[in-house]
Structure 1
Amino acid sequence: MSLNSRVLRALSVFFLSLLLPLSSLAQELAETSVPAQKRVRAVRVDTPPVIDGKLDEAVWQLAEPITDFHQIRPGNQTAPSEATEVYVLYDDDALYIGARMADREPGLIAAPVIRHGQGLGSDDRLVVILDPFNTRRTGYRFETNLNAVRHDALYTSVNSFQLEWNTIWDTATSTYDNGWIAELEIPFKSLPFDPSIDTWGFNFGRGIRRRGEEMAWVSYNRTYNPSISGVVTGLEGMNQGLGLDVVPSFSMNRDKQFDLRTSDTNMDPSLDVFYRLTPSLNAALTINTDFSATEVDNRQVNLTRFNLFFPEKRDFFLNDSDLFQFGGIGGFGGNSAESRGSRENARPYFSRKLGLSQTGAPVDIRYGGRISGRVGRWNIGTLAIRQDEFGTVDASDLLISRVSANVLRESSVGFILTDGDPASNLDNSVYGMDFRYLNTRLSGGQVLEADAWFQKSDTPGLNGDDEAYGLGLRSPNNTGLRGGVGFKEVQRNFNPAMGYINRSNIRDYTADVGYTHFFRDSFLQSAYFGVDAQRINVIDGGLQSQVLAFRLLELDTNTRDRISLGYQSNKEVVLRPFAVYRAPDRSVFIPAGSYSFDEASVSLSTAGQREFSGRLSLSNGDFYNGKRNNINGSLSWTQSRNFVMSMSYDWNDITLPQGDFITRLTSLSTQVAFSSTLYWVSLVQYDNLSEEIGVNTRIQWIPRAGQEGFIVLNYNLQDRDKNNSFEAASSDLAVKFKYTFRF
């Protein structure tokens, strides 16, 4: 047995020895380890406050102020540096939240972001978490900053959320002599809820970026999420109206192919209808679904023999996407030895398989329907669409159905079924079952997660060896010891036609263990060190891939700067040569064989609240039977809240006996905010593998939540002769406007 194999096995045994005692004692420790749940009563009002960011109306004085916030960083359960007061009101139509956030230096409040929907990780911000069903499993996250930017997210599990999700709500902010004020209005029509439940999961957070300070109303183990929250009581008699949203849209597209000297102009109406069958169960209908204003994918360079993973960005598929999550497969995870594609491998349902060809070209969706929501302890998600024909593939009917039941205190058991193949004329179906265990109430602030799942596919011509199954056990703690172990088997003929798969006929073993230490009274906030490992074996053979990632030291400062040192040991067994580099004039192949290669890295990143911020990563080492140097970095200039420019660059210099090559991937983005409702965002990308420059520029107008207008131009230039003489290849101009009628 090799040294790396022994290390991987030792990590798994060591971590299991730590977790098994915790698991056996979980129930005994649960009640004694968690502090009493905080509660606040929402006050019902007849006249709603005006959302103007002033907090000066008498109606706010009716609410009980929430003031007992505490630090979670850099301190833990310590007094915050500034006072925070939060007020909660409601009427028939909406929930109203007001916050007065003291700051002795209001001129230093960080607010570089002005565009709605953009992340606020570099801003001073207010965070609100709502769990309308009080299940402590999923929920909704609302954030705003001093510029009254709306940023929302959907929790797909307690430890991960879907940033692309959005709904209709409003906010306004202002400053005063000693801080800033935020007011939020969240319509009840924007959230599913059960009117018989008058107690919602509820939490608040606040960030002060220049001090690296995070505070919360309720936290545990330096974190807060739907499972770690207080409650708001007294919510009765809310009005969801008819529960009907009608969203017509109209787009005009002009597509031009310069090579073929062809152009095409289309004017397409589209309609989305959303109806609440019950207060907690939603139906959606889409006709001639329009994705013309969807953001473009960020380019990636693939130096492996396996498919890359690109996340979903289309709103229709993001709504209620948490209900379709299965087995804990995917997400960002905490094991750096795994690639994103490896973590996502064997997903039974991946929405990017719908409405897109295998090359990423859009495919029309004629119509579709979805039923999603919750009925008692049951979580339901069913999607059926009619996809248009493309190429040699006939029009197809596609179905995804997912049902799960909440069990125990924070866990669930479920079933999934998919039927149809969007990329061929063959039949295909997949069914699967999963159990997800969560316990956030262990002694010492520890958390325990576990997943077990099984899937089977049915494809004509593929008989036997068509199953996949997996197990996982994790303790994802933010402080002290953390880690996890996992196993996944994906058999040779397992074929989820509407899912994601990048390796089959494999057994995938993962293990990671690490320790986080938080400093006191220091400019350093925390230090982390650990080991992450992955080993993938061929089912009927030996090793395919192995990675040992030694995270030697990761230091974070209170101002959110970071330095990291790492060392990675790789093993790859290549059975058939594969092209690691393709260009019009030549290709470089990795020959069949067994390879061991190591790499050292150092990276530095600075916090985004500064005028200039960036990230730089340097790595050097072996690469298969050669050498690789890598430089990966980015630089952002926040000239003002109205103008931001960012540049990223990834450079690989690879030397192999079969041939040397260099890969370059660069992007330049600009954001111009004419106001809080009108933006101009551009992204230019180039890589020397495709020798293509892609330009995506979009003007977005949001007069108010639920109303959007777009002008989007995609323009591609190609260097066919590799002489830096770029010629126009294609262009696509789209103009789109949509309006939400809410009843």
Structure 2
Amino acid sequence: MTENRIIYRWKYSRFRMIFSGLLITVCGLSFGQSTSKQITAKLITDNIVLDGLMDETIWQTAEVAGNFQQFFPSDQVEAQYTTEVRVLYSETHLYVGIYAEKAPGDYVVSTLKRDFGALTNDNISLLFDTFSDGTTAYFFGVTPYGVLREGLVSEGGAAFNNTWDIKWQAEASRYDDHFVIEVAIPFTSLKFPEGTSTWRFRPCRWNNQSNQQDSWVKVPQQQLLSSLADMGELIFEKPLGESRMPIALIPYINILADKNYGLDESDTQFKTGGDAKISIGNGMNLDLTLNPDFSNVEVDDIFTNLTRFEVRLPEKRQFFIDNSDLFENFGNTFNEAKPFFSRRIGLARNAEGNLIQNDIIGGVRLSGKLNKDWRLGVLNIQTAKDEANEIASNNNMMLALQRKVGARSNIGVFWVNRQVMGDEGYITPEDNFNRVIGADYNLASEDNNWNGKFYLHKSFQPGDNTGNFSSQATVTYNPRKWRITEDLVYIDQDFTADLGFVPRTDVLKWGNGIQHIFYPENGIINTHAPRLLTIVYWRPSLDYKKTDHRYTGSWEFAFRDQATAEFSFTNNYIFLTAPFDPSRTSGAIPLPGDQGYTFNQASIEYTSNNTSVFTYGANATIGQFFNGNITALGAQFGFRVQPKAQFSLRLDYNGIRLPDPYADANIFFATFRSDITFSKSLFWNTLVQYSNRQENLGINSRLQWRFAPLSDLFLVYNDNYFTETFAPRFRSINLKLTYWLNI
């Protein structure tokens, strides 16, 4: 028996012991939830004029949710400035009235566009856990300028998605020392159990003018302000009836003209299609899409990837957003093995192996809550056949079922299936289908101090049904002064998820992290926290040879003015099993494989207070890189013209120096953004990106007119240039009209 095998058996025994011990320990950590504050919503028959004045007499009879607690900079004191929230409701609407005092002077506001950022805008946000499960919730936010944002909270508050849209209204009035907001949310825009008389509820406030964040119910500062563990209770005088969302039809028309200058090809297209949203019962939504078009979705940011592995990018397409956590959150906590990743749908590899766009014919998604304890998700998308590029039509399906356990934990099972449709001659038998099944246990204790995930997944391919497992056991303990994480991962070398995100297989990983948080009583530093992190990877197929490690010591600082800083030192080890060129220079000699490389790096990062009109940040990494050296520098600058315009510039440089005969590299990219809001309904966003590695200058400019609630006219211009000759590469312009119709 080899030494590596002996070491592995010892490690695997510890893996099983720790996995079993953690599972037994944490399964009992979820108890019944408690609520520390209550407010009663008064049933009314009077009309509320939504004008941001709250001058109707009925408002004065409503109960007041006051006595807010500060969250930042300290969670040990009451809020400095008074915030009062009143709630009324009729048979059709939920009304919220807000009175908020402030320091004299200018408000902090960066935009008039919907779905603003909380850290750069004074605002009040409302969390509604309508099923009282402590896991998912709706949120609604309003600035003193009456700008709206809404979205979905999932994973107990850890995930925050503001791309979800529904119809609701709010108006605000501003004064030198306070502001007033009136909100009207139709019950038809929400899902809730029939006959319910209580929701879990919490308003919170970003008072960025004074660098403070407040909450009606106290939230410990080591948690997120969006945490659903700490909530109050909203009590309705009369139980609510059925949740009756209207059917929504969202057709679109798109005219697109483009030219590929490299191939000297032009094209003009006229596309139509649309979506439909249908309410099923009190908690389920049926979403349909036909010939979807995502031309108005913002392009991805460019970035430098110096690793050997793929990077996961966020989903921005609206159809895949609603209840996305029900589909996307299965699998590895740290994005090392996700069985489903919606961005895979609509992309395919052509005969040359290049990734290209693959049209979506249509799809259906049924998702939501069956009741308080059960959630169901069914997604089915059909992609088109592309004979010219030897791409077959595929049916892409996922079924997910989730059961609440205890106060805030849950167990979920799923089935993912990609199936070739038809009998195309260019499709090999092993590509006919890919299937993944699995089960996840997601831990979230009542006080949110314990979080974790335990899962086991298995994939199936034609003629390959043995092994193919992916698994993880991870737990984080996060009391007030500590954050301790233990992470164990195993991914078989044959585990395959065609619709998932699996950057590396053949992995046994062990990660450990410990961080201590200090809370100074005085000075400019609000908290500071040293951290030690160790991550080690072994390759089972190589007799459990260690192939990677990363040992990091860091110190994080959060300042009272909301600026942040971090210092870190990392010792890296990478065993290359195959030749690899970290400079990614065409024609360069790669570093030899079957060899290990140890190198050290030091990093520093600083970000200024984002609430200031002028913001800035910088980061630097210096040290060794494989058998050479690296210097990585970055800077970002932002400027706001309140409340209608904001501009930002980001610069990044990576200088790689390797000894002869290996290649050096100077990698530079720059990103410029401008966001101009002419009004609450007319917006102009421009993104300019330059990359010397891609030899490309790209421009994406979008003019959006919201002419009716959730109905838009987009004019989108894309332009790309070769940077060596500054000649045009690709250019397009499209005009897209969408209209939201409730029936």
User: Residues 284-321 of structure 1, C-alpha deviation per residue, up to 9 Å, x if partnerless?
Assistant: 11111111111101112111111111111101001111
2:341 corresponds to 1:350: yes
CA pair 516-422 structure 1, distance change in 2 beyond 3 A: farther
Q: In the alignment, what sits opposite 2:398?
A: 400
Shift of 1:561: 1.1
Whether 1:603 and 2:601 are equivalent positions in the alignment is no
> For 2:280 and 2:77, how far apart are their aligned partners in 1?
46
Q: Deviations over 1:329-376 (max 9, x none)?
A: 34xxxxxxxxxxxx2121111000112235664322112111111112
* 8 Å contact kept, 1:581–1:689: no
* Counterparts in 2 of 1:421 and 1:623: CA distance versus 1, 3 Å: farther
Is the contact made by 1:466 and 1:494 (CA closer than 8 Å) also made in structure 2? yes
- The answer for the alignment partner of 1:52 in structure 2 is 51
Instruction: Report whether the alignment pairs 1:437 with 2:435.
Output: no
C-alpha contact (below 8 Å) 2:194/2:242 kept by paired residues: no
1:388 aligned residue (377, 384, 390):
384
Q: Is the CA contact (8 Å cut-off) linking 2:88 and 2:95 kept in structure 1?
A: yes
CA 1:87–1:645 in structure 2 vs 1: closer, same or farther (change >3 Å)? same
In the alignment, the residues of structure 2 paired with residue 637 and residue 515 of structure 1 have an alpha-carbon distance, to the nearest angstrom, of: 35
Seen in structure 2, the aligned counterparts of structure 1 residues 461 and 21 have a Cα distance that, compared at 3 Å, is: closer
Structure 1 673/360 Cα, relative in aligned 2: closer, same or farther at 3 Å?
Answer: farther
The secondary structure found in structure 2 opposite 1:517 is coil
Residue number among 653, 656, 664 corresponding to 1:654 in the alignment: 656
TM-superposed CA distance for 1:183, in Å, is 2.1
Change in CA separation of 1:549 and 1:141 when aligned onto 2, cut-off 3 Å: farther
Show the counterpart of 1:272.
275
Distance 1:24 1:500 in 2: 28
Please state if 1:713 is matched with 2:726. no
CA 241–133 in structure 1, closer or farther in 2 if over 3 Å, else same: closer
The answer as to whether partners of 1:583 and 1:690 remain within 8 angstroms in 2 is: no
Q: How big is each residue's C-alpha offset from its partner over 1:673-702, in whole Å with a ceiling of 9 and x where there is no partner?
A: 111211110001111111111111101112
Residue 475 of structure 1: CA displacement? Answer: 1.7
Question: 1:434 Cα deviation (Å)?
Answer: 1.3
TM-score calculated relative to the size of structure 1 = 0.90
In structure 2, give the amino acid aligned to 1:454: L
* Structure-2 change in CA distance of 1:113 and 1:528 (3 Å): farther
Contact in 2 for aligned 1:481/1:515 (Cα 8 Å): yes
The answer on 1:703 being equivalent to 2:707 is yes
Does the Cα contact within 8 Å between 1:91 and 1:238 map onto a contact in 2?
no
Using the TM superposition, name which of 708-717 and 192-201 deviates more: 192-201
Q: Distance in 1 between matches of 2:677 and 2:90?
A: 34
Q: 665-674 vs 145-154, which deviates more?
A: 145-154
**Please, which of 549, 562, 568 is the counterpart of residue 570 of structure 2?**
568
What are the residue-to-residue correspondences of 1:520-559 with 2, within 5 Å?
520-541=521-542, 542-551=545-554, 553-559=555-561
Letter in structure 2 aligned against 1:45? I
1:491 and 2:489 equivalent? no
Distance 1:598 1:103, change over 3 A: same
Give, in angstroms, the shift of residue 113 of structure 1.
2.7
* Residue 122 of structure 1, CA deviation: 2.0
CA distance in 2, matches of 1:368, 1:25: 37
What's the CA shift for 1:563? 2.1
Equivalence for 2:638: 636
Matches within 5 A, 1:621-700: 621-657=623-659, 658-700=662-704
Q: Which amino acid counterpart does residue 379 of structure 1 have in structure 2?
A: R
Task: Name the SS for the 1:590 alignment partner.
Answer: coil
What is the distance in 2 between the residues matched to 1:734 and 1:303? 35
- Whether the 8 Å CA contact 2:193–2:242 is kept in 1: the answer is no
Closer, same or farther in 2 for the Cα pair 1:236/1:71, shift >3 Å? Answer: same
Whichever residue aligns with residue 384 of structure 1, its letter is N
- Contact 1:554/1:565 (CA < 8 Å) preserved in 2? yes
For the Cα contact (< 8 Å) 2:139–2:151, is it kept in 1?
Answer: yes
Q: Deviations over 1:163-198 (max 9, x none)?
A: 343222222222124211222222222222212222
Give the residue type in structure 1 aligned to 2:367: S
Amino acid at match of 2:383: Q
Greater CA drift, 352-361 or 601-610 = 352-361
Q: CA deviation at 1:240?
A: 4.4
Specify the code of the residue in structure 2 equivalent to 1:606: S
Runs (5+) with no aligned partner, structure 1: 331-342
The answer on whether the counterparts of 2:689 and 2:699 sit within 8 Å (CA) in structure 1 is yes
For 1:25-424, what aligned pairs fall within 5 Å after superposition?
A: 36-105=35-104, 107-168=105-166, 169-222=168-221, 223=223, 224=225, 225-234=227-236, 236-238=239-241, 240-241=243-244, 243-327=246-330, 329-330=332-333, 343-358=334-349, 361-376=356-371, 377-390=373-386, 391-421=389-419
Distance in 2, matches of 1:98 and 1:121, equals: 22
The alpha carbon displacement at 1:322 in A equals 2.0
TM (normalized to structure 2)?
0.90
Q: 1:705 and 1:322, CA in 2 relative to 1: closer, same or farther beyond 3 A?
A: farther
Q: Secondary structure at the match of 1:589?
A: coil
Residue 432 of structure 2 aligns with which residue? 426
3-state secondary structure, aligned to 2:60: helix
Change (3 A) 1:605 1:567: same
Shift of 1:400: 0.6
What per-residue deviation string (whole Å, max 9, x for no partner) do you get for residues 485-522 of structure 1?
Answer: 11111111111111111000111222111011222243
Describe the superposition over 1:573-596 as per-residue Cα deviations: whole angstroms up to 9, x where unpaired.
001112323345x43523222011
- Contact 2:348 / 2:391 at 8 angstroms: preserved in 1? no
SS in 2 for 1:322: helix
Question: Deviation of residue 69 (structure 1)?
Answer: 0.8
Distance 2:253 2:203 in 1: 38
Amino acid at match of 2:406: L
Structure 2 match to 1:733: 733
Structure 2 distance, partners of 1:537, 1:267, is 52
Structure-2 separation of matches of 1:706 and 1:741: 9
Other-structure match for 1:471: 473
Are 1:75 and 1:520, in contact at CA under 8 Å, matched by a contact in 2?
no
Equivalent position SS for 1:121 = helix
The 10-residue stretch of structure 1 (188-197 or 293-302) with the greater mean CA deviation from structure 2: 188-197
Superposed CA RMSD: 2.6
Tell me the residue number matched to 1:336.
Answer: none
Identity, in percent, stands at 23
Structure 2 unpaired stretches of 5+ = 422-426
**Which shows bigger deviation, 586-595 or 499-508?**
586-595
Secondary structure of 1:368's counterpart equals: strand
Aligned-partner residue type, residue 159 of structure 2: F
Judge conservation of contact 1:381–1:402 (CA < 8 Å) in 2.
yes
Partner-residue secondary structure (3-state), 1:540 = helix
Indicate conservation of the 8 Å contact 2:258/2:267, yes or no. Answer: yes
User: What is the rounded CA distance, in whole Å, between the counterparts of 1:326 and 1:618 in structure 2?
Assistant: 32
- For residues 306 and 208 of structure 1, the distance between their equivalents in structure 2, rounded to whole angstroms, comes to 41
Distance 1:35 1:711, change over 3 A: same
Partners of 2:34 and 2:189 in 1: how far apart?
32
> Does the CA contact (< 8 Å) of 1:286 and 1:367 recur in 2?
yes
